[in-house]
Amino acid sequence: MNYFITGTDTDVGKTFFTALLLRTLRQAGYDAVGYKPVACGSWEDVDAMLDAATDSGETRATTCVEYLDMPASPLTAAWAAERQLDPARLVAGYHALAARHDIVLVEGAGGWLVPITPTYTIADLAAELGLPVFLVARNRLGAINHTLLTLESIGARGLDVAGIVLNHVAQSADPAAHTNRATFAMLPSAPVVAEIEPHQHALDLAVFAPFFGPR
């Protein structure tokens, strides 16, 4: 089973979670790789995926089919480079990886509604791929509203949500950071499947293996 990984915003920890999940799966014997359809401003996210799956045989070129220099939305970065991105190329890159590997984790750019072209967003790409979604949120005050809004948009596109991941981006005395998970449990929303901490090196395989089936 393949999954799409998105966030409530940029810099909420999508890549950190994706790399943790890739590393956990590969150490358990799963043939899993990452895919970043478009990256802007840095190869850091792509390299993190490759580092988590060092023996996958994949490269920057196959893990990310569109790279743009400007650290901005794909639409803005492409405009600055006097280019227009082709969504079909992003979809084709996914299918190429899916043909070679059992599991592909697709990570979006920025938040859920970030534009790729004037008429096509990260959400549209996820809908075209038709994958269930892991939603990563920064675990702090405001996470509940941001998460529920994003869940509503995901559901409106007919996609299933595998679960919410709360990322403790920084240690905080914020009461919300310690109560958000319990609050989500009281709401008719997707389940919180994990809370992740800075410098964490792996995930609990017992939690995530059911999402991927037997090796």
C-alpha span between 104 and 178 (Å, rounded): 32
Rounded to whole angstroms, how far apart are CA atoms 192 and 101?
27
> Is there a catalytic annotation at residue 14?
no
Helix (H) or strand (E) holding 62: helix 60-63
CA distances 133 to 54, 57, 68, 157, Å, are 24, 25, 25, 11
Question: What Cα–Cα distance (Å) separates residue 158 from each residue in 64, 123, 202?
Answer: 26, 11, 31
Residue (of 119, 97, 100, 122) closest to 111 by Cα position: 122
Q: What's the N-to-C CA distance of the chain in angstroms? A: 11
Dist CA 26 CA 52 (whole Å): 8
Question: What span, in angstroms and rounded, lies between the C-alpha atoms of 188 and 132?
Answer: 18
From the candidates 26, 36, 101, 140, which is the catalytic residue?
A: 36
- b/e per residue 90-116 (b: at least 16 CB within 10 A): beebbeebbeebebbbbbbbbbbebbb
Catalytic center residues: 36
